[in-house]
Amino acid sequence: MCIFCKIVNKEIQGNIVHESEHFLAFNDLYPKAPIHILIIPKQHVDCFQEVGAETMSGMTTFIQEVASKVGIDNTGYRLVTNNGEDGGQEVRHLHFHLLGGGKLIWDHSHEDAHNFI
Protein backbone atom coordinates (compact mmCIF):
# COMPACT_ATOMS: atom_id res chain seq x y z
CA MET A 1 0.00 0.00 0.00
CA CYS A 2 1.39 3.47 -0.88
CA ILE A 3 2.04 6.14 1.79
CA PHE A 4 -0.91 8.31 0.74
CA CYS A 5 -3.25 5.30 0.92
CA LYS A 6 -1.94 4.80 4.47
CA ILE A 7 -2.86 8.41 5.28
CA VAL A 8 -6.36 7.78 3.82
CA ASN A 9 -6.66 4.69 6.01
CA LYS A 10 -5.36 6.68 9.03
CA GLU A 11 -2.51 4.15 9.39
CA ILE A 12 -0.09 7.06 9.39
CA GLN A 13 -0.72 10.59 10.62
CA GLY A 14 -1.60 13.07 7.89
CA ASN A 15 -2.43 16.46 9.51
CA ILE A 16 -5.73 16.64 7.66
CA VAL A 17 -7.07 20.02 6.48
CA HIS A 18 -10.29 18.94 4.74
CA GLU A 19 -12.07 15.69 3.99
CA SER A 20 -15.03 14.49 1.95
CA GLU A 21 -16.35 11.08 0.96
CA HIS A 22 -13.96 10.80 -1.99
CA PHE A 23 -11.12 13.29 -1.39
CA LEU A 24 -8.59 14.23 1.27
CA ALA A 25 -6.45 17.34 1.84
CA PHE A 26 -3.49 17.31 4.26
CA ASN A 27 -0.41 19.42 4.92
CA ASP A 28 2.78 18.58 3.04
CA LEU A 29 5.47 17.27 5.37
CA TYR A 30 8.11 19.55 3.76
CA PRO A 31 6.24 22.77 2.87
CA LYS A 32 7.56 24.87 -0.03
CA ALA A 33 5.26 27.83 0.75
CA PRO A 34 3.50 29.23 3.86
CA ILE A 35 0.53 27.10 2.83
CA HIS A 36 1.36 23.80 1.11
CA ILE A 37 -1.46 21.29 1.02
CA LEU A 38 -1.63 17.99 -0.84
CA ILE A 39 -5.00 17.05 -2.31
CA ILE A 40 -5.72 13.46 -3.30
CA PRO A 41 -8.53 11.16 -4.35
CA LYS A 42 -9.08 8.54 -1.62
CA GLN A 43 -9.17 5.84 -4.26
CA HIS A 44 -5.65 5.05 -5.47
CA VAL A 45 -4.81 6.43 -8.92
CA ASP A 46 -1.14 6.47 -9.92
CA CYS A 47 -0.95 9.86 -11.60
CA PHE A 48 -2.83 12.57 -13.51
CA GLN A 49 -2.38 10.69 -16.80
CA GLU A 50 -4.42 7.81 -15.37
CA VAL A 51 -7.30 9.74 -13.74
CA GLY A 52 -10.84 9.85 -15.14
CA ALA A 53 -12.77 13.00 -15.90
CA GLU A 54 -15.45 12.12 -13.33
CA THR A 55 -12.90 12.05 -10.51
CA MET A 56 -11.41 15.32 -11.73
CA SER A 57 -14.85 16.92 -11.74
CA GLY A 58 -15.27 16.20 -8.02
CA MET A 59 -11.65 17.08 -7.38
CA THR A 60 -12.14 20.57 -8.88
CA THR A 61 -14.92 21.45 -6.43
CA PHE A 62 -12.99 19.93 -3.53
CA ILE A 63 -9.83 21.92 -4.33
CA GLN A 64 -11.87 25.15 -4.51
CA GLU A 65 -13.38 24.32 -1.08
CA VAL A 66 -9.91 23.78 0.40
CA ALA A 67 -8.65 27.09 -1.01
CA SER A 68 -11.65 28.87 0.54
CA LYS A 69 -11.27 27.05 3.85
CA VAL A 70 -7.65 28.16 4.30
CA GLY A 71 -8.43 31.68 3.06
CA ILE A 72 -6.44 31.85 -0.18
CA ASP A 73 -9.37 31.78 -2.62
CA ASN A 74 -9.15 35.58 -3.12
CA THR A 75 -5.43 36.20 -2.58
CA GLY A 76 -4.45 33.49 -5.07
CA TYR A 77 -2.53 30.27 -5.16
CA ARG A 78 -0.67 27.84 -7.39
CA LEU A 79 -1.96 24.36 -8.21
CA VAL A 80 0.62 21.84 -9.41
CA THR A 81 0.67 18.15 -10.22
CA ASN A 82 3.93 16.42 -11.06
CA ASN A 83 3.26 13.60 -13.51
CA GLY A 84 5.66 10.70 -13.98
CA GLU A 85 9.44 10.58 -13.98
CA ASP A 86 10.21 13.66 -16.07
CA GLY A 87 7.56 15.60 -14.13
CA GLY A 88 9.40 14.83 -10.89
CA GLN A 89 6.62 12.77 -9.30
CA GLU A 90 7.98 11.00 -6.21
CA VAL A 91 4.79 9.64 -4.66
CA ARG A 92 2.85 7.50 -7.13
CA HIS A 93 -0.62 8.37 -5.86
CA LEU A 94 -2.18 11.29 -7.74
CA HIS A 95 -1.87 14.50 -5.76
CA PHE A 96 -2.23 18.21 -6.38
CA HIS A 97 0.04 20.64 -4.56
CA LEU A 98 -1.94 23.71 -3.41
CA LEU A 99 0.61 26.45 -2.69
CA GLY A 100 -0.14 29.89 -1.31
CA GLY A 101 -0.14 32.18 1.69
CA GLY A 102 2.44 34.52 0.13
CA LYS A 103 3.61 35.84 -3.23
CA LEU A 104 5.03 32.87 -5.11
CA ILE A 105 8.10 33.08 -7.33
CA TRP A 106 7.55 32.60 -11.06
CA ASP A 107 10.00 33.57 -13.79
CA HIS A 108 8.00 35.67 -16.28
CA SER A 109 11.04 36.53 -18.41
CA HIS A 110 11.14 35.31 -22.00
CA GLU A 111 14.92 35.10 -22.20
CA ASP A 112 16.71 31.83 -21.56
CA ALA A 113 13.89 30.76 -19.27
CA HIS A 114 13.68 27.03 -19.13
CA ASN A 115 12.42 24.53 -16.64
CA PHE A 116 14.30 21.50 -17.87
CA ILE A 117 17.69 19.99 -17.23
- Listed in sequence order, the residues at least 6 apart from 19 whose beta carbon sits closer than 8 Å to its beta carbon are 25
DSSP category for residue 97: E
89 binds ligand 5GP, rule: CB under 6 A: yes
75 phi and psi, to 5 degrees? -80, -25
Known catalytic membership, residue 95: yes
Least distance (Å) between residue 39 CB and ligand 5GP: 11
Query: Coil, strand, or helix at residue 104?
Result: coil
73 binds ligand 5GP, rule: CB under 6 A: no
96 binds ligand 5GP, rule: CB under 6 A: no
Nearer to Zn ion, 42 or 78 (CB): 42
Q: Can you name the residues that pair with 92 across neighbouring β-strands?
A: none
Site size toward ligand 5GP, by CB under 6 A: 13
What is the enclosing helix (H) or strand (E) of 41?
Answer: strand 35-41
90 binds ligand 5GP, rule: CB under 6 A: yes
46 binds ligand 5GP, rule: CB under 6 A: no
